[in-house]
């Protein structure tokens, strides 16, 4: 499933497009039958109008994915409102089996020893000590069922649990006025997110999948799960994180994927 295109994304959306989007959003909001949908998911609503089709089923969502991945950061910032929640789903809608995806095949999934693991925390934080898994598990845990959307053109619903990332950032005395949080992974993957997304209530420092310890293929021992971002912004096998004002980029982002990566 490793078909990420390395083609550069469309450059910048122009002002006319932005104006049209705003106009469309106004129209959209005034259609009562769509209002409920929109309340649950501005981003999917935005996807519908931007791709020129009404998102009503899985297929149209999938078809519109490549389109949204090509939007520039400005357009996505407009679509993604950190005060809105991404849709959540009932247990019965969980995708089975949940897909595995990485920039390598299943044979190369990193093997990490629980005992040796430490989450390294650096940058603009008051408390730079490292964390064991046991310490992380002792923090308050939450659980949510959300959809992961990959730009390759698939999406899947899964249940992830862990620490609300905002709780963790406060716990380590992170400078919440800093612009970015960067992540380094055991498989050389790396990515970064903006602070509003880091503080979003559905952004979870994930320790479990389906109520069990995160399995290796889904990112053991630690991944960041954000239903408001495309799959590639959700790092698995995290071993270090840092708070910074210098945009740390990311594995796919540095090859042309949109940095904002909203979904
Ligand atoms: N460390 C690491 N994290 C990663 C990746 C990766 O290759 N390495 N791939 C990303 C991509 S493109 C996707 S779609 C999701 C897939 O997550 P899953 O295997 O849990 O479905 O992980 C993301 N996080
Ligand atoms: Mo992905």
Instruction: Return the best residue to mutate from 232, 239, 251, 256 for the ligand 1 pocket (most ligand atoms within 8 A of CB).
Output: 232
Per-residue pLDDT tens digits for 157-181: 999 999 999 999 999 999 999 999 9
Q: For ligand 1, atom 20, which residue shows the shortest CA distance?
A: 218
Give one DSSP letter per residue of the chain, joined into a string. Answer: ------SPPP-PPPHHHHHHHHHHHHHHHT-HHHHHHHHH-HHHHHHHHHHTS---SHHHHHHHHHHHHTS-HHHHHHH--TTSPPP---GGG--SSPPP--SS-GGGPPP--TTT--BEEEESBS----B-HHHHHTS--EEEEEEEEETTTEEEEEEEEEEEHHHHHHHTTB-TTSSEEEEEETTS-EEEEEHHHHTSTT-EEEEEETTEEPPGGGTTT-EEE-TTB-GGGS-SSEEEEEEESS----TTGGGT--SS-B-
| Greater model confidence, 74 or 36 | 74
Q: Is the pTM of this model over 0.95?
A: no
- Which residues 6+ apart lie within 8 Å of 160 measured at CB? 143, 144, 146, 204, 206, 208, 209, 223, 225
Task: Read off φ and ψ for residue 142, nearest 5 degrees.
Answer: -130, 170
- Between 172 and 258, where is the model more confident? 172
**Ligand 1 pocket residues where CB is under 6 Å:** 99-103, 148, 150, 185, 187, 189, 218, 231-232, 234-237
CATH 3.90.420.10 residue ranges for the chain: 80-255
pLDDT at 155: 78
Q: What pLDDT is stored for residue 247 in this prediction?
A: 92
> By mean pLDDT, which of 69-78, 90-99, 172-181, 204-213 is the weakest?
69-78
Q: What is the dihedral of CA 99, 105, 107, 109, to 10 degrees?
A: -70
235 C-alpha to ligand 2 centroid (Å):
10
Q: What's the pLDDT band for 255 if we cut at 50, 70, 90?
A: confident
30-34, 37-41, 215-219 — most confident range: 215-219
Closest residue by CA, ligand 1 atom 1: 236
Which of the listed residues 236, 250, 252, 255 should we mutate to test ligand 1's pocket, taking the one with most ligand atoms within 8 A of CB?
236
Report the length, in residues, of the chain. 263
pLDDT digits (tens, 9 = 90+) for 172-214: 999 999 999 999 999 999 999 999 889 999 999 999 999 999 9
Reported as a single tens digit per residue, the pLDDT across 122-149 is 999 999 999 999 999 999 999 999 988 7
Q: What is the mean pLDDT of residues 218-242?
A: 94
Q: What topology does CATH give the domain 80-255?
A: Sulfite Oxidase; Chain A, domain 2 (3.90.420)
Is the pLDDT reported for residue 156 higher than 90?
no
């Amino acid at each position: 499933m490793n078909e990420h295109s390395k083609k550069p994304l469309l450059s910048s959306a122009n002002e006319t497009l932005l104006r049209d989007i705003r106009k469309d959003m106004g129209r959209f909001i005034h259609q009562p039958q769509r209002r409920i949908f929109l309340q649950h998911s501005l981003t999917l609503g935005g996807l519908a109008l931007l791709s020129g089709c009404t998102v009503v089923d899985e297929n149209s969502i999938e078809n519109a994915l490549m389109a949204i991945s090509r939007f520039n950061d400005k357009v996505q910032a407009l679509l993604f409102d950190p005060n809105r929640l991404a849709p959540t789903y009932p247990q019965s809608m969980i995708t089975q089996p949940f897909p595995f995806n990485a920039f390598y095949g299943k044979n190369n999934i990193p093997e990490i020893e629980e005992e040796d693991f430490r989450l390294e925390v650096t940058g603009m934080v008051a408390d730079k000590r490292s964390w064991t898994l046991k310490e992380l598990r002792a923090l308050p845990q939450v659980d949510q069922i959300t959809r992961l959307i990959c730009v390759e053109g698939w999406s899947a619903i899964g249940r992830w649990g862990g620490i609300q990332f905002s709780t963790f950032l406060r716990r380590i005395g992170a400078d919440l006025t800093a612009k970015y949080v960067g992540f380094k992974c055991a498989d050389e993957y790396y990515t970064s997110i903006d602070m509003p997304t880091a503080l979003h209530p559905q952004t979870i420092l994930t320790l479990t999948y389906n109520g069990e310890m995160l399995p290796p293929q889904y990112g053991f021992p630690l991944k960041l799960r954000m239903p408001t971002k495309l799959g590639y912004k959700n790092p698995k096998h995290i071993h270090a994180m840092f708070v910074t004002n210098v945009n740390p980029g990311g594995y796919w982002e540095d090859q042309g994927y949109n940095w904002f990566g909203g979904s």
